[in-house]
Amino acid sequence: MSFISIVEIGELESKLTDDLSQLGKLYKSKKNGYHVKSVEHKLAEGMLREGWEEFGSPLKTKTKLRKPKDHSSKFKDDVWCQLYELGYRHLNSCNDFELPFKKNPLEKSQIDIIAVSEDSILLVECRSSQKHAKAPSFKVKFEALPTKLKGFGKVLDQLFGKGKKVKYIFATRNLKLDRTSADIERLNTTGSFFYNDNTYEYVNGLIKSYKNAAHYQFLALLFKGQLISKERIQVPAIEGKMGGKTYYMFSIEPHLLLRMGFILHRTRANEAEMPTYQRLLVPSKLKGISKFIQNGGYFPNSVILNFSKKINRLQFEPSSRGESTRSRFGVLKIPNAYAIAYIIDGQHRVYGYAESDYKESNTIPVVAFRNLDSTEQLKIFMDINENQKAVSATLRITLEEDLYWNSERADSRMKALRSSIIQELGGSISGALYNKISIGEDKALLSANPFAQALTRSGLLPFAKGNKFVAESADSSLYDINNQNISSEMTRARDSIVKFINLSYQFVDDNFHDVFKRERYFIVSNRGAYAFICLIGSLNIFESERRNVNVKTTAENRFKVIKKYLNALLTQIQELPDEDEEHMLSKLGSGSENAWLRFFQNLVNQKYPEYEPLDLIDWKERQDQELQDTGRKLGTIIEKFIKKTVIGTLENLFGDNWDIEIGAIQRECVNRAAQETEKLYKEGLGRKTIPWTDMFFVSDYKAIIEKYWTKKPSQIPAGFKSFDGVFSIDCGYGFNSKAEKIKWLSFFNSYRNNWAHAGTKEKGLNRDEVSFLQSIHDHLLG
């Protein structure tokens, strides 16, 4: 017999939706901090008096109004949106969802949010306060809750069918309600969940870090210890003892572990589980691991778990014990329940499978302890992270040879070849760099990383993407991409490149020993290694284009061709004025390697003008002071015009209220002005008042122009032009959309950052960029 009538069921269903389009619109509306309405113009004035405000561009027949949501509505909407972001796609579509709990149709209770998934139903009641305040008593409410939950369950069975787990959530914001209070203890006895400010922030963190995988940890939080299925998970396992602790070794499908696993994140939301120790996942790392798994990658090391002490239903049925070992083989029977296995180590690996096609077909190795308390878990976690050193960049580069030498992917093989070249350079007793490069865990004067970066960018090796080489990059490389005997070609190319580089370094040692023997100088240093190898690669490209060398040229003959250029470089290094030497040696940090490379190329170019690669031409132009002065002058005029036009147009559009209209930008500018005033004062320049209108960024102008692109005042003054009539400029990237017509502003902003750094020679403008500024100047002021 039905608990409620078909008519009542129909009324409830009408207040729910699983329509993805409608849910998307609801989400957008609820995510907004304002109630939004469009009303006929004649009704707007009355609503403005009631606290609504006008916003956006006026419509033809209606006015767009908005009003900030009150704290109660905002909280309900925030939780609704959070559940949507967690993957729930069957939710209430209105705010008056009342759920019967008795057959009497009048016996109903307001449910603020109902969220339904494939296996669970969440009933959420929200209570909030504008400011932090002491919570009222919920004694009567929670004492009546068991009866209501029983009735709710019957109704929900009729609505959605039997078998789904139901969880009542009591959510609060800004209410001082301790988890140990009598009210929350009453709530807990009903099997319900207390969702306070800490929980809300924690779940937001899960969504940000775990993305679509967040719902696994969320379900574990709600249903910890509750059965997913009565059938146990049975896996072949080995039982052993270590440190007086029982552990099991087995393999299991990731989708099972995702549900039974739980991570003790160090957050106040998990304060009942203290001590906790895990950090939230690193989103970029999780994304990378997910992609790695989806592309067929795998991790051979084990995930470390602990089966909670609270779960006493873990069973191991041994079948045998070896005569020579105390380990036992058998079948481990694991309750199929939420959050019974704490993940001590390996959370990125486990959650990396959440969106993978392989989460049900792969198995991952597990070492699982049983009955460890949180303190013991913390100790294991600390032991793993303190005593197990992370793989260093040098060791990773070293291992690439063994990992990828026989790979089916061309790009991986190039990593292996690069690794092998570096090891040969540093390990060959006959080479000039013997014992000068760090290999594996062996430290030396030079790091492996600048050699790896230089070999990648020098052109000595071809570029590859996946299993395909970029053909143009192979024209001057020393690796023959047409040789189908890959193993033979890998070895041949390695030997050729190593010999060519060694001959170049040996030339320095033999003929410019005073330069070579100086550590951390222009040749034997990390910056020097990058610049020197990139230079000989650039010289090799230059001579390849002149048809003086090719992939079959011997290392000896290749070196003979570039020898004169190296002689020019080193002769000038020996003759460097002290001031120039000090200037270059003082360049440190990001960009210093490229600065040294351009310096090397320029020294060669001074002796051999025909050697002038495009990147050197670009660099030289950026050092041209006359060109920089021209570009800076044009940019300053353009920016002054933009500022004058933008402010003038805003005044025409909004009169004296123009600054209020751009309130958010104005506040940022005021703050920047205050910071600049403080900075000048602290630098001893006295108190200087900075007008806020002097603190616009180009991005601010762009935002204003975009927002009011075609807007015109109701009474158009003579000569008025809307933003689209002034700032639409074709810069060669299309001229259809608004974005295309103001794309030039993005380029202008980028170039402005270059001319603004007048003291940084590595920045600045090249000739094409100055020409671009000239064309913008002529268009706007021509």
pLDDT digits (tens, 9 = 90+) for 397-451: 876 776 688 888 999 999 999 999 998 898 777 789 988 998 865 678 999 999 9
Q: Buried (b) or exposed (e) across 151-190, using 16+ Cβ within 10 A?
A: bbebbbbbbeeeebbbbbbbbbbbbebeeeeebbebbeee
Please, which pLDDT band fits residue 266 given cuts at 50, 70 and 90? very low
User: Which residues face 359 on adjacent strands?
Assistant: none
Residue 13 in this model has a pLDDT that exceeds 50: yes
Angle at 402 between CA 398 and CA 404, to 5 degrees: 100
Cα angle vertex 206, ends 200, 211, to 5°?
A: 130
CA distances from 112 to 56, 173, 503 (A): 31, 14, 77
Tokens of 382: 């600390």
Report whether 104 contacts 149 (CB < 8 A): no
| pLDDT of 603 higher than 50 | yes
Distance CA 622, CA 762 (A): 7
Least confident of 310-324, 338-352, 546-560, 598-612: 310-324
Mean per-residue pLDDT, 555-577: 96
Q: What is the pLDDT of residues 447-491, one digit of tens each?
A: 999 999 999 999 999 999 988 999 888 989 999 999 999 989 999
Q: What is the dihedral of CA 222, 226, 230, 231, to 10 degrees?
A: 80
Identify whether the C-beta of residue 600 lies closer than 8 Å to the C-beta of residue 569: yes
pLDDT for 316 beyond 60? yes
pLDDT > 70 in the chain, percent: 92
Averaged pLDDT, 263-278: 48
Confidence of residue 244 (pLDDT cuts 50, 70, 90): confident
Q: Of the ranges 20-24, 101-105, 591-595, which one carries the lowest mean pLDDT score?
A: 101-105
Q: Residue 271 pLDDT more than 80? A: no
pTM, 2 dp:
0.48
| Token pair recorded at residue 373 | 């308390």
Mean pLDDT score of the chain: 87
- Give the pLDDT band of residue 762 (cuts 50, 70, 90): low
Element (H, E) at 580: helix 578-585
Cβ–Cβ contacts within 10 Å for residue 411, how many?
16
User: Do 143 and 186 contact (CB within 8 A), yes or no?
Assistant: yes
| Residues present in the chain in total | 782
Does an H or E element contain 188, and which?
A: helix 182-189
d(CA 443, CA 419): 16
Q: Tell me the pLDDT tens digit for each residue of 130-168.
A: 987 888 999 999 999 999 999 999 999 999 988 889 999
In this predicted structure, what is the pLDDT of residue 249? 94
Find, among 502, 515, 508, 386, the residue nearest to 433 by Cα.
502
Q: Above 80 in pLDDT, residue 697? A: yes
Report CA torsion sign: 258, 259, 262, 268.
positive
